[in-house]
Structure 1
């Protein structure tokens, strides 16, 4: 009995030791197993080539390990990647394609659809909170012509007046494009279906979508229209504000737009003229611009910085661009180098030294793109600022020989400030000398989905 008990206790002890040994061995193996970052870094050192680190990919950035042990994060101002159901990432692709009875973007992080013609919403967006924004048209829509991310409903707003829906990485924009001068005064009535938000006219002439608790879910300055006179000017050409009101008709909110008849009838007007309500649930807006004579219009495909004279030569606009990047992944890291890249579409002149150039500087206070004007623009600091004088893209009359492309600013000290814990309110671009009469550049915003165009990009090289 004693022998059997002793044997039993010995067997139990050996089993326990074996289990502890196995557990210890497993923990030891787990402890020494390299992290995805370390594994990528080791492979990069071995091959002498940069290696992607999928674990560091997110909606706005990708990261690679460099052969020297550093890492490079490429961060875009808006969403550029979409997580798929299987956990992998794909590049966002707003190209519209038929899905059932509607059109949808190929790869999108938001739930957006566009009419394929007939009854129903012109377009519909459901945001992450389940809120719905869906403008309709009072009559059935024709089948649209589709090019990339743009659906055009010819003559849907009357003869020579098209409805145009542009799908963006975070939602959509819709415009009325007047290809010819209207025969008389114009009034556009656009029914808007909503859930979780209510469409209202703001006291300043703008538009708001307010949630049930009274908070503003989305907003826009007063609607605009602009003609096609000259390139490189704010919103494309001569600008006019549009009177916008909100009525209730049979229980449905109706956006009523009344463009200025004298503006449309002006013999100098260059058609087509675009009427832009500029109200949707835009998701996170990460770049915009503001000027001395106009407020921010979130969702625009182009943002402008510098100084630009008016057509009559009696004055001009001072313009500033603001752009944000999600830099949480570099917090606490040792930043080696950082650069800002903005895709220059248009410029007042081409060359390596156009005027005083544009200065990039760190923003030091919050800003709200839905309520941003010259009087409440954010503060900045000159610490870490840098200036670029190059002009690319095209002028009012002809393309630059080098064509559109990135303009670059070294912003290492700005990135170091963010990595060290300074609040990140983004970067401002402004004319280096804002007293100049002419010195401006127009850049692609994150919402610009034209072929070959690149979004605002921040590149940061750092040590772990």
Structure 2
């Protein structure tokens, strides 16, 4: 009995010791001596070069955030100013004269990131190259496209590439014209032309007469890439060693000089005894139809994997997808019947304490002389995949008109859709993009340029204002922690940090003098 009592006392003593040790290690230091979360950082005096804007936020000895160097002007000017440090691959941000911000979102990449992590404008023009095997290349992009006289084209990103070599071609020297290079008479009555785009390299096989061949074989060389047919889309896709999709071949199509379109083209990948080939075969009957107007262009294009998408659907082709087309249509077309366009953007993040004040979607109308028509924007209510979307399975959309334009002119059409953009950012409705359709679907068709064309692409504009509370790396602070833009006093203190053996636990208090909220931020 005595032994049992002693054991209980010992266990009680050990329990008290453990509780004491845990409590002692959890007590924070006094407020005035609280631990700095990050080492000291200098105060901003002058606007630095762009290369300094990648610095991370730090704290000074007074526990006040001092922003790293910024290219944000101290105050708005008379004209809108771009903020280069806030670029992404497909967005620009502008400071407007009224102090608000505008973010422009493009359906294609407009910038590439260099070795210093700066986003610089893409330059797709083809320029001479110093390589022995290749005579020309695109000027500056996240990928390289090289062109030679034997291996006509190499598409390369980092240590991965695919090279296409025509089988048994006639000798031909490439002629450069801007972002295009053409190899004339590479086969009888056949030219091959390549176009370097922001996110793609486009190959046009140009047939000049019905006597031209209609089957073309390309020997393929790859490095650190595998070519497979995607199970979901059915498209030939390039995968890296990790099995991640890097790029894909768009569904090939052909179009004649009268803009008559046909998808009766196949692109087949074959691998025999270690030898890889791509075979392009066009429908002979379509090519020799008396109504054909030459030249005819056959278009298989390699595209980088991206998240933005656009396409159109056509009533007369209920099971055909048109995601490879350079144009998308809305209204009645004599060849396609009723048409509708679909567009979707992935919304970028906005700074903390942002309020969306407006926004629009802009589409570039291609035809200059067309009758006036009213086009409406509708919110899609179901998801869709551009390479699989047809008239029969097009996304459902809300009957509510989010924005409209009545016009017949060429150039950008601006559809104001502020309420829809606000709803997307507030997560009130899912972002499945929009459907563009004529209010009277039998009225004259409009043709808008898609991301496949590489010029005058669809884009979205988001207007927002920021009450700078908290921390953003473009805001400057005084040594006392006052935001120079709006006078907000920012104070942060790290009270508690437990490294532990698993996920570390920390507790930081933040004070914003302009905040209307109480509690832990």
The TM-score by the shorter chain falls in which range?
0.7 to 0.9
Distance 1:285 1:63 in 2: 18
Answer whether contact 2:145 2:156 (CA < 8 A) is retained: no
Corresponding residue for residue 385 of structure 2: 368
Distance 1:243 1:107, change over 3 A: closer
Matches within 5 A, 1:147-162: 147-156=177-186, 158-162=187-191
In 1, Cα distance between the equivalents of 2:157 and 2:383? 23
The answer for unaligned runs of 5 or more in structure 2 is 1-31, 42-58, 467-521
Q: Quote how far apart the aligned CAs of 1:308 are.
A: 0.7
**Which of 332, 335, 342 is 1:322 aligned to?**
342
Partner of 1:13: none
Match of 1:10 in 2: none
Please give the residue correspondences for 1:305-316 in structure 2 after superposition, counting only pairs within 5 Å: 305-310=330-335, 316=336
2:112–2:141: 8 Å Cα contact kept in structure 1?
Answer: yes
2:300 alignment partner, one of 269, 274, 277 = 277
3-state secondary structure, aligned to 1:263? helix
Q: Structure 1-normalised TM-score?
A: 0.76
Partner of 1:335: 356
User: Which of 175, 190, 193 is the matching residue for 2:218?
Assistant: 190
Contact 1:202 1:208 (8 Å CA) reproduced: no
Task: Report the alpha carbon displacement of residue 96 of structure 1 after superposing the two structures with TM.
Answer: 0.8
Is residue 200–residue 301 contact of structure 2 (8 Å, CA) maintained in 1? no
Question: Given the alignment of the two structures, is residue 448 of structure 1 paired with residue 448 of structure 2, yes or no?
Answer: no
After the TM superposition, which parts of structure 1 deviate over 6 Å for at least 4 consecutive aligned residues?
Answer: 22-25, 201-204, 212-217
Contact 2:85/2:118 (8 A) holds in 1: no
Change (3 A) 1:251 1:389: same
**Quick one: distance in 1 between partners of 2:93 and 2:242?**
40
Q: Normalization by structure 2: what TM-score?
A: 0.68
Change (3 A) 1:220 1:318: farther
Deviations 1:77-117 (A, max 9, x none): 111122233343322121111222332222212x2313231
Deviates more, 1:357-366 or 1:58-67: 357-366
- Is 1:62 aligned to residue 92 of structure 2? yes
The Cα shift of 1:196 comes to: 2.9
Superposed CA offset, 1:171-218 (max 9, x none): 2111211022216x63222223344322449899x6422647888766
**Which residue is equivalent to 2:236?**
208
Q: Cα 1:246–1:146, aligned 2, differ >3 Å: closer, same or farther?
A: same
* Cα separation, partners in 2 of 1:418 and 1:131, compared to 1, 3 Å: farther
CA–CA distance in 2 between the matches of 1:220 and 1:380?
A: 29
Q: Kindly tell me: are residues 432 and 214 of structure 1, through their superposed partners in 2, closer, same or farther at Cα, counting changes over 3 Å?
A: farther
Distance 1:224 1:52, change over 3 A: closer
Alignment counterpart, residue 302 of structure 1, candidates 322, 327, 334: 327
CA offset digits 1:256-297 (Å, max 9, x no partner):
233222222222211000112345555445323333316334
For 1:340 and 1:143, locate their aligned partners in 2 and report how far apart those are by CA, in whole Å: 43
Distance in 2 of aligned mates of 1:210 and 1:71: 38
Mapped contact 2:206–2:298 kept (Cα < 8 A): yes
Equivalent position of 1:287 in the other structure: 310
Q: Where does the alignment leave 5 or more consecutive residues of structure 1 unmatched? A: 1-15, 230-235, 311-315, 394-404
Match of residue 462 from structure 1: 464
Return the match for 1:346 from 333, 343, 367. 367
Q: 3-state DSSP class of the match of 1:209?
A: strand
Q: Which residue of 2 aligns with 1:425?
A: 432
Is the contact made by 2:111 and 2:119 (CA closer than 8 Å) also made in structure 1?
A: yes
